[in-house]
Structure 1
Amino acid sequence: MPQSTLAPTLLSLLAVKGVDAGDAIPAQAGQRTVAGRNGERLVTLILDGVLARLGADLRLCRGLAGVGDLINLDAATEETQDETALWLTPGRFVSVPAALLIRHIDPDVLTATALADLRARNAALQTELARHATLKVAQRLAALLLDVTTRGGVDQVSLRQSDLANLMAVRRASISVASTELCAAGAIRLRRAAIQIIDPDALRRVAGELHSTVTDLARLRG
């Protein structure tokens, strides 16, 4: 799957200011992004890993983000509510002050980047809404795990069942039942505070035809 080029593009433009991949910070699964620090709004550039964009309540998943994507870019383009995300896998990121982007990135380039980012976010959100409205919990969980392994190339999601329940807006008991179904189908194995993916094809069978892989969104990415 083609990776987003939004974060690499911004990094290349900021290289003259001494900002590059060498400034990357490691992230652990379950960690949240930081939208601001010391009164300064921050944009997160994702170099590795998979995240779930969070709603205003800091819980419900609003779509996934992966390598090359941006979190909270609106901080550099307009006055909106800050965006945060939850790391679903370990990863690496660079945090850049929104003011630095505004000062040193050509306005036309920044606007084009923002539009590409908005298209990707909207497509991911529509996927989540469609799943929430049409799929059973086990199907939604299978689809989520498929997207994580496709984006991140990983075989494990290190989150508690309560975290998954929050992201999918269901009860923890529903996640437990769904996980048991996926185990019975031979798709996953439950670890302590983690789900190991052992058969992606089995996940696809459970998710059914309504599972839309992230490759379907590749054309919307910059």
Structure 2
Amino acid sequence: MGAKRTKARPGEGEKLRGEILLAADALLGETGTDEALTLRAVARRTGVSTPSVYAHFPSRDALLEAVCLRVWDELAHRMRDRAAEVADPMRALSRCARVYARFALDHPVQYRVLLMRPSGGSSPGAVACFRHLTDATAACVRAGILRGEPETLAMGLWSAMHGCVSLLIAQPGFDWPQEPEALIDTVIRMAGLGTALACRVPRDAIPPSGVLAGDLDGLAAGWAASRGRTG
């Protein structure tokens, strides 16, 4: 239980708000569920009265949303920074996707709250992450790697990543690979390469399976040979 605090001095309101958010975030991390988050529990942990918490957050839902968005602001910054580390647009897009997936698995409670339950509107955190993903996708379009509307392409890529991490979070007892990164990497490559191919080939132009397999094998062999010459 947190020690009782003295009354906050003028100008310390933002400091207390930050301490409340830290306490709430710690509760979520320790318990693994948002059900443990109550204003009373957070007040006890912070060392203030429950009305002091109400002064900053009028309801449990308001506090829960604030602590989750605080984490997702960090994700948006990480996605931007990791993408900026490489010049190749497709690799930058892949980095965004990997940061997104890893962050979701590291913060499963916040991910469930913001993106895995019904909502009356768009989460600001989700919108920020989607904007960075769209920017990375737009760079691929400008480079000629992908074709189409960046937002539409980004929605498809986001859907693939969300499906992957949502299953990992919601079905932990399933027989997943021991290292989830292996599955995440497979999904990212399938989504990225699949999108690059799909935006070039109309649905009615896809050849029979046998022809498709041979063509793809030839393409992969050519890439491998090219890599050997340049590597």
Q: What range describes the TM-score normalised by the shorter chain of this pair?
A: 0.3 to 0.5
Greater relative contact order, per chain length (Cα 8 Å cut-off, separation 6+) = 1
TM-score of the aligned structures, taking structure 2 as reference length: 0.32
The TM-score normalised by the length of structure 1 is: 0.33
Bigger fraction of residues in helix: 2
Higher strand share: 1
Q: Which has the larger radius of gyration?
A: 2
